[in-house]
Amino acid sequence: MTQPDHVWRQIEELICRASRHVTLVAPFIKKPIFETVVTLVPASVERIHCVTRWTPAEVATGVSDPEIIELTMRDKRIHVSLCPPLHAKIYVADDRCLIGSANLTGKATGRVTHANFELLVETATAHPEVQRVLGQVRAAATDATAHLATLVRKQAQFLQANASTPSTEREAFPAPRWYPATRRPENLYTLYSGRGTFASAVETGILQDLALLNIPIGLGETEFNTAVRTQLNGMPELQKLQTGESLSSVELENAIAKHAGVSNALARRRTENIAAWLQHFDRYYTEVGMWKLRKGHELM
């Protein structure tokens, strides 16, 4: 009968055989498991490259620990990258690797009770499909930083504090309905990318928006804007715009007040915020005097 920690034994055996480089690719990585893997890496290995992904909801459910970045301060061989579309699990030690379903978590590796049923198969690192995926990962990955790790943790804490029901590992995290809170949407990517800091009250609003949008850390500005635009266009109150019609501020306020059950004053504020976001992230403008949103370029 297969041992509960069979997957862990496979990883352990592979990593201990490394002599030059180790690459760990997994969407979900827990800090205790990562720390243990690092202790297995022989001293002869010059570089340990970890590729993962961080989203607020996944961090909130506990399947990923952005705190793995702390290990880069203790061991200069370690480099952490973020790859938002990542789903593959690949563990490389020189010319051999393991591929399959197992993340670097306790449940996936069998190092806790009630472990998952997982699969890892050893093959050559030079295998064409392995090289294809590693090439895609390298092209899409960006450097992780301590600042980004802190930001995604703060977003996860917001989701945990505002969830209507508790969540367990691997379940989709329940989040309250999202309406833009930030009045200056141009600040979103600045904070998201770690390129700027803001006053506490302003940062809180931006973090709230980022948390509820649940955009994975590490996107470029174009991809980030596309992700935000997609979620904006999906708001039920804005469906009229998707058919090419205009939408008045009164219509939008009434729709928000009805769907969200909020006061007229709050509905008006949310309407103003949505208009600002549509103008920043999409091709909408507000007709002067009529306060109607229309798709296209603003008339001069």
Specify the CATH number for the domain of residue 64.
3.30.870.10
What pLDDT shows up at residue 299? 34
Do β-strands 96-100 and 21-25 pair in parallel, antiparallel, or remain unpaired? unpaired
193 part of a folded domain: yes
pLDDT digits (tens, 9 = 90+) for 54-113: 999 999 999 999 999 999 999 999 999 999 999 999 999 999 999 999 999 999 999 998
Helix axes 249-260, 264-281, angle to 10 degrees: 120
The residue out of 103, 122, 144 marking a domain boundary is 144
Average pLDDT of the chain is 90
Domain that holds residue 279: 177-295
Give the residue, 96 or 255, on which the prediction is more confident. 96
pTM of structure: 0.87
| Same domain? 102 vs 225 | no
Question: Does the structure show a pLDDT above 50 at 189?
Answer: yes
| Same domain? 118 vs 14 | yes
What pLDDT shows up at residue 290? 47
Instruction: Round to whole Å and give the CA distance between 173 and 95.
Output: 38
**Res. 146 pLDDT band, cuts 50 70 90:** very high
159 part of a folded domain: no
What pLDDT shows up at residue 3? 82
Count of domains for the chain: 2
Question: Does the structure show a pLDDT above 50 at 170?
Answer: no
Instruction: Round to whole Å and give the CA distance between 105 and 64.
Output: 8
How many Å from the N-terminal Cα to the C-terminal Cα in the chain? Answer: 75
What pLDDT shows up at residue 172? 56
